[in-house]
């Protein structure tokens, strides 16, 4: 069994999951994009780590801000709905107030017409009283003249009868005529007085009624003014509420716009973080070798072990002294850490985005499956027993199940090439 087949067995359970998203990060295209957007500055540069941490901090900070903006947006929207409800209630109140105002205006017009009619009746009665007063005055003057003439004539007595040239029957006739005329005039004056008194009573009643109408008019006018004042206050309040509604809506739009802008920034930063998470790819050609030493076999080179089995190498073999500690070439998680039949102890490290490094023929494993490691951390120890069948520490790099030439990824300064 070849070692590549053994490693493929370790990867088989994750292959199906990664196959669906592999096309998103095709190595050749994605490498160009990464190197174009985020070039690595210097052979020993770790700027990508600091930048990634900075981006993660910004994402966390921006996410908090977005959450706060969303809360503010929710508050502004709720307040806008409240002001809209208040506006509707005010409009309903104004409709009722307008109806009451129209009712008062109609009542005022009715009262004004009634007062005008009443005033006309009063004026008519006053004119009638004035005319009767004139007629009464004339009758009174005429009566005074009759009485004066009567008294000038004198009463019928012994002297009048003795010295008058008229006969007694004639004198008595004249006296009766005067009495009749005076009685007639008095009756006319009495009727005038009665008529005047009746007209005065009617005028008084009309005046009282007009006074009541004036009182109703004044009360209704005051109610109308109160309603108009209330209406004006409601309209001013409505204008304020509409202004508040516009302000809440404008604030909500601005908050929404700010939240969208921040969300777009966070999306961009997440994409950048995603790209920076490809630190393994970004450090291609600069990764430290797992051990320093002589390269015994190259990638793709035909090899033959001490038992005479020939194969094509899918990695490289590095010769190093027994007891040398094997280092992790990059940050990652231990994907596999067990004895592999025929190849000794094997460690597979998942470096993210389907990149793996494989170390085999180790004397002792220092890590177990699930452990996280950082670049340069000890993961295994080389020993004599582990290299009995094949010489050197075996090392390979994979992307999914595809093997890659390790020398294209490692810093070759500490390696002695054949």
Q: Is 67 part of a structural domain of the chain?
A: no
Both structure tokens of 203? 């005028």
User: What are the DSSP calls for 149-166, one per residue?
Assistant: HHHHH----HHHHHH-SS
- C-alpha 208/C-alpha 212 separation (Å) is 6
Residue 45 lies in a domain: no
Q: 310-312 and 302-304 as β-strands: parallel, antiparallel, unpaired?
A: antiparallel
Q: Write down the pLDDT at residue 5.
A: 53
Task: Give the burial class of 316: count Cβ atoms within 10 A of its Cβ; 0-12 exposed, 13-18 middle, 19 or more buried.
Answer: buried
- Residue 289 lies inside a defined structural domain of this protein: yes
Residue-by-residue DSSP string for 341-384: TTTEEEEEEE-STTEEEEEEEESEE---TT-EE-TT-EEEE--T
233 and 376 together in one domain: no
**Which of the two residues, 177 and 183, has the higher pLDDT score?**
183
Residue 233: CB atoms within 10 A of its CB come to: 11
Q: Are residues 168 and 269 in the same domain?
A: yes
User: Of the residues 274, 305, 336, which one is the last residue of a structural domain?
Assistant: 274
Both 241 and 293 in a single domain? Answer: no
Give the range of the structural domain holding residue 411, as residue numbers without chain letter.
3-40+284-416
- Residues 195 and 230 occupy one common structural domain: yes
The three-class DSSP label of residue 404 is strand
Among residues 243, 274, 305, which one ends one of the domains? 274
CA separation, residue 241 to residues 8, 251, 262 (Å)? 71, 15, 31
**Would you say residue 52 lies in a domain?**
no
Instruction: Report the candidate in 337, 414, 395 with the shortest Cα–Cα distance to residue 370.
Output: 337
Residue 238 belongs to some domain of the structure: yes
CA-closest candidate to residue 299, choices 392, 399, 393, 404: 404
- Tally Cβ neighbours within 10 Å of residue 392: 19
- Are 204 and 223 contained in the same domain? yes
Judgement on whether residues 120 and 176 belong to the same structural domain of the protein: yes
Q: Name the region of 392 (left: φ>0; alpha: ψ -120 to 50; beta: rest).
A: left
pLDDT digits (tens, 9 = 90+) for 306-356: 666 788 889 999 999 999 999 999 999 999 999 887 677 999 999 988 899
Are 394 and 295 members of one domain?
Answer: yes
| End-to-end CA separation in angstroms for the chain | 27
Taking the C-alpha atoms of residue 229 and residue 234, their distance in angstroms, rounded to an integer, is 9
Helix axes 27-37, 168-276, angle to 10 degrees: 110
pLDDT grade, residue 202 (50/70/90)? confident
pLDDT value at 395 more than 90: yes
Closest C-alpha to 373, from 307, 339, 327: 327
Q: Quick check: is 134 in a domain?
A: yes
- Would you state the pLDDT for residue 151? 60
Regarding whether 229 and 117 lie in a shared domain, the answer is yes
Query: Are 280 and 353 spatial neighbours (Cβ–Cβ below 8 Å)?
Result: yes
Query: Looking at the predicted structure, is the pLDDT value of residue 367 above 90?
Result: yes
The residue from 246, 274, 302 where one domain ends is: 274
Query: Looking at residues 354-365, what average pLDDT do you find?
Result: 93
Residue 98 in domain: yes
Look up tokens 């309040």; give the residue: 237
What's the CATH code of the domain at 111?
1.10.287
Under a CB-based contact definition with an 8 Å cutoff, are residues 354 and 278 in contact? no
pLDDT at 133: 78
Q: Are 99 and 233 part of one and the same domain? A: yes
83 contacts 241 by C-beta, under 8 angstroms: yes
Total domain count for the chain? 2
Q: Output the six-digit token pair for 68.
A: 């706060």
Q: Which helix (H) or strand (E) holds 220?
A: helix 168-276
Asked if 398 contacts 355 with a C-beta cutoff of 8 angstroms, the reply is: yes
Percent of the chain clearing pLDDT 90 (strictly above) = 26
Please tell me the distance from the alpha carbon of residue 263 to that of residue 271, in angstroms, as a whole number.
12
| Phi, then psi, of 101 in degrees rounded to 5 | -65, -45
The answer on 326 and 261 residing in a single domain is no
Torsional sign, CA 287, 288, 294, 297: negative
Same domain (yes/no): 387, 317: yes
Residue 335 half-sphere exposure toward CB, CA atoms < 13 A: 24
DSSP 408: G
Q: Are residues 99 and 220 in the same domain?
A: yes
From 254, 191, 241, 219, select the one nearest 87 (Cα to Cα).
Answer: 241
**Does residue 53 form part of some domain?**
no
Q: What is the CA radius of gyration of the chain?
A: 62
Q: Is the pLDDT of residue 374 over 70?
A: yes
Read off the pLDDT band of 146 (50, 70, 90).
Answer: low
Degrees to nearest 5, angle at CA 341 with 336 and 344: 70
For residue 394, pLDDT over 90 is answered with yes
What's residue 323's pLDDT? 92
**Residue count of the chain:** 418
Question: Could you give the C-alpha distances from 166 to 129, 163, 178, 179, 322, in angstroms and in order?
Answer: 45, 9, 16, 18, 191
What's 322's domain CATH number? 2.70.70.10
């Amino acid at each position: 069994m070849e070692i590549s087949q053994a490693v493929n067995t370790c990867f088989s359970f994750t292959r199906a999951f990664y196959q669906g998203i592999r096309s998103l990060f095709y190595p050749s295209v994605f490498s160009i994009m990464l190197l174009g957007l985020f070039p690595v500055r210097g052979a020993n540069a770790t700027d990508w780590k600091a930048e990634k941490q900075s981006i993660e901090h910004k994402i966390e900070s921006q996410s908090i801000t977005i959450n706060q903006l969303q809360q503010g947006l929710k508050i502004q929207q709720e307040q806008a709905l409240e002001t809209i409800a208040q506006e509707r209630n005010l409009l309903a109140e104004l409709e009722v107030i307008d109806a009451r105002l129209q009712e008062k205006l109609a009542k005022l017009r009715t009262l004004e017409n009634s007062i005008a009619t009443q005033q006309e009746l009063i004026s008519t009665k006053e004119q009638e009283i004035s005319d009767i007063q004139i007629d009464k005055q004339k009758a009174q003057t005429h009566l005074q003249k009759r009485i004066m003439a009567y008294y000038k004539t004198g009463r019928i007595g012994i002297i009048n009868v003795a010295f008058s040239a008229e006969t007694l029957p004639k004198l008595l006739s004249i006296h009766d005529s005067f009495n009749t005329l005076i009685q007639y005039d008095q009756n006319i004056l009495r009727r005038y007085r009665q008529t005047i008194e009746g007209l005065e009573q009617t005028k008084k009643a009309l005046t009282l009624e007009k006074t009541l109408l004036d009182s109703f008019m004044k009360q209704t006018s005051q109610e109308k003014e109160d309603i108009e004042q209330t209406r004006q206050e409601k309209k001013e309040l409505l204008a304020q509420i509409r202004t508040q509604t516009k302000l809440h809506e404008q604030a909500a739009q601005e908050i929404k716009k700010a939240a969208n802008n921040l969300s777009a920034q966070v999306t961009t930063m997440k994409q950048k973080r995603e790209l920076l998470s490809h630190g393994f790819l970004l450090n291609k050609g600069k990764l430290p070798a797992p051990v320093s030493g002589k390269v015994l076999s190259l990638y793709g080179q035909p090899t033959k072990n001490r038992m005479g089995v020939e194969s094509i190498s899918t990695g490289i073999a590095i010769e190093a002294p027994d007891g040398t500690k094997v280092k992790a070439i990059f940050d990652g998680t231990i994907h596999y850490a067990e004895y592999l039949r025929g190849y000794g102890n094997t460690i597979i490290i998942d470096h993210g985005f389907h990149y793996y490094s494989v170390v085999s023929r180790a004397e002792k494993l220092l890590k177990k499956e699930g452990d996280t490691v950082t670049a340069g951390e000890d993961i295994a120890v080389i020993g004599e027993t582990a290299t009995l069948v094949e010489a050197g520490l075996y090392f390979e790099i994979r992307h999914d199940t595809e093997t890659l030439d390790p020398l294209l990824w490692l810093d070759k300064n500490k390696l002695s090439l054949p």
